[in-house]
Amino acid sequence: RGLKLLMAKGCKRIGLFTTAQHLNYFQELREALSEAGAKVHTTQIFPWMPGQIIGCRFDTIVSNLDRKVDAYLVVGGGIFHGLGLFVTTNKPVIIADPYSNRLIEVAEEASQILKKRLFKLMEALDKKNYAVVISTKIGQFRLALAQKIRDLLRGRGKAAELVVADEISPSLLLNIPWAQAFVIVACPRIAIDHQEEYPYPLLNPGEVKYVLRGSLEEYTPKDSLVPNLSLNNVA
């Protein structure tokens, strides 16, 4: 069904990706799409497997693949990976979510999601007490980055402390009574896919520069997906 939607839009050259949970079916899916008339392309984001999408590496997909495809099909749960592709490439993206058995046309949902992100970021500018959250999971424990963000926030007059945990969840964060906003220095999809579970802003490191500036001037939605700290135009 996802292929039919894309081909109805005139998209025959398809960039295909999936998350780690569904890699076992990747080749089978690729062959099925080819048999249905699509020209299927993918790429490898080292050191991960061919076709595996990684939320913080959309730049690799753009440089290796974007000129070869008309649209993207992503097999996996949640909106994060598809949203990242859409914002980065500005091409049609469909998510085939096997958990909800839904096809999601990202363009239809992206505007609403990004408006909510912008609203939460506006809220964050006025918050005084920040928790900078690190996960001990492999590949997500970025202590030096978290410490730098904490120190920069303090330098702007914010109260900021580190919070270290294995699993980042509402049951953890909502029991930190002093925190008014959170910077998630872990998997960037937490702040995108799970923001609605929290009454307080969840920011990714790429959004911190707006708090440091105290302004949303020159805002770009791509910063919502950036897992690293950017200090462009921060005085």
Most confidently modeled of 44-58, 107-121, 143-157, 180-194? Answer: 143-157
Average pLDDT over residues 143-153: 97
Q: Where are the domains of the chain?
A: 2-100, 114-225
> Which residues, in sequence order, are CB contacts of 174 under 8 Å at separation 6+?
198
2-100 and 114-225 have identical folds: yes
Please, which residues bridge with residue 129 across strands? 159
pLDDT at 68: 94
pLDDT at 176: 96
Superfamily of domain 114-225: Diphthamide synthesis DPH1/DPH2 domain 3 (3.40.50.11860)
Fold classification of 2-100 (topology level) = Rossmann fold (3.40.50)
Average pLDDT over residues 6-18: 85
Of 13-27, 101-115, 121-135, the range with the lowest mean pLDDT is 101-115
Q: What is the DSSP letter of 50?
A: B
> Which residues, in sequence order, are CB contacts of 109 under 8 Å at separation 6+?
79, 83
The more confidently predicted of residues 158 and 139 is 158
Average pLDDT over residues 204-230: 89
Average pLDDT over residues 197-225: 92
pLDDT at 235: 61
* Res. 2 pLDDT band, cuts 50 70 90: low
User: Tell me: the pLDDT tens digits for 35-56?
Assistant: 988 899 998 877 788 888 876 6
Look-up: residue for tokens 């490898």? 44
Give the span between the Cα atoms of 224 and 62, in whole angstroms. Answer: 17
Task: Look at residues 155, 202, 206, 204 and name the one whose alpha carbon lies nearest to residue 179.
Answer: 202
The more confidently predicted of residues 150 and 189 is 150
In this structure, the number of other CB atoms found within 10 A of the CB of residue 142 comes to 18
Give the span between the Cα atoms of 81 and 67, in whole angstroms. Answer: 19
